[in-house]
Amino acid sequence: MLRVCCEFGLTAVLLLGVVTGVRWLFAPDGYGGGGAAFAVLGAGVGVLLAVLMLSAPGRRSGAHLNPAVTLVLWRLGAFPGRDVLPYCLAQLGGSVAGTWLAAVVWGPVVARPPVGYAAVRPGPGWGEGAVAAAEAGVLAASALMLAGLLAYPVGRRLLPYAVGLVTALVIAVLGPLTGGSANPARQFGPALLAGEAGGTGGTGPLWAYVAGPVLGAVAGAVLGRRLDGRLGGQLGARLGDRPVSPRET
């Protein structure tokens, strides 16, 4: 229960940071948006994510902060299956709490366009299927990265920095195109509070930002285990083919 509470709180802090960044980078009285704003937002979120993973609560829970990451770690054998649902619910709940808290802190500007609770919006020409496919691709690649890092002790120590860097690049590169979410919890709270879970008001449909990462996570984890087996089973040997404590991930 303590680890689940940590996931809730850490995800809430992450979304508070995300919404705060969007508020000051995209609102008319802030930076004003543009391509550079996505790069700055990506850098800020990447650093915040690494800091949260390295914090005491992050080390206790594993700081997944993303239901798709929780699924990857479960499928890789690095996280107990009984904790998957509680973690995912805590992450989604933390997303709502963090988004709501940002609205309380920054006021009505958070609800109004172009901020709109920081709900992700795909760029022109990006349909639902394309968004879901892009999100799936990002998580599949991330799952392979996690499999490679978890196979070696030095990789585990580098994990927070690698995840932060990848997150920064995803937001900077895909932000203007698909919205650069790659995390169901990232879109859940903002879309829910904005009343745009179905994709109204210019946001991408919530299902694409949930199904895409989940499918990509599972596919990437399966591929990672198969590749690991062909390369000598380093991941299986390190994890002992058993769920391990979140502290070890």
Give the pLDDT score at 106. 96
Q: Report whether 159 contacts 38 (CB < 8 A).
A: no
Report the C-alpha gap between 201 and 192 in whole angstroms. Answer: 13
Give the pLDDT score at 151. 82
Q: How confident is the model at residue 235 (pLDDT cuts 50, 70, 90)?
A: low
Q: How confident is the model at residue 234 (pLDDT cuts 50, 70, 90)?
A: low
Give the pLDDT score at 95. 97
The Cα angle at residue 133 between residues 171 and 149, in degrees rounded to 5:
60
Compute CA distances 105 → 43, 44, 132, 181, whole Å: 22, 19, 32, 23
Burial class (CB in 10 A: 0-12, 13-18, 19+), 25: buried
Give the pLDDT score at 229. 66
Give the pLDDT score at 220. 93
pLDDT, tens digit, for every residue of 105-158?
Answer: 999 999 999 999 999 989 888 988 999 999 999 999 999 999 888 888 888 899
Q: How confident is the model at residue 242 (pLDDT cuts 50, 70, 90)?
A: very low
Give the pLDDT score at 66. 96
User: Residues 153, 154, 155, 156: is their CA dihedral positive or negative?
Assistant: positive
Give the pLDDT score at 50. 97
Burial class (CB in 10 A: 0-12, 13-18, 19+), 35: exposed
- The count of residues in the chain is 249
Which has the higher per-residue pLDDT, 98 or 30?
98
Give the pLDDT score at 204. 57
Query: Ramachandran region of residue 195, left (φ > 0), alpha (ψ -120 to 50) or beta?
Result: left
Q: Report whether 67 contacts 87 (CB < 8 A).
A: yes
Q: Comparing C-alpha atoms, which of 146, 142, 165 is closest to residue 47?
A: 165
Report the C-alpha gap between 94 and 189 in whole angstroms. Answer: 8
Angle between helices 206-230 and 128-150 (to 10 degrees): 30
Give the pLDDT score at 227. 78
Q: pTM surpassing 0.75?
A: yes
Q: Report whether 143 contacts 77 (CB < 8 A).
A: no
What mean pLDDT is reported for the chain?
Answer: 88
pLDDT > 60? residue 188: yes
Which has the higher per-residue pLDDT, 55 or 200?
55
- Contact partners, residue 20, CB within 8 Å, separation at least 6: 102, 105, 106
pLDDT > 90? residue 212: yes
Average pLDDT over residues 66-92: 94
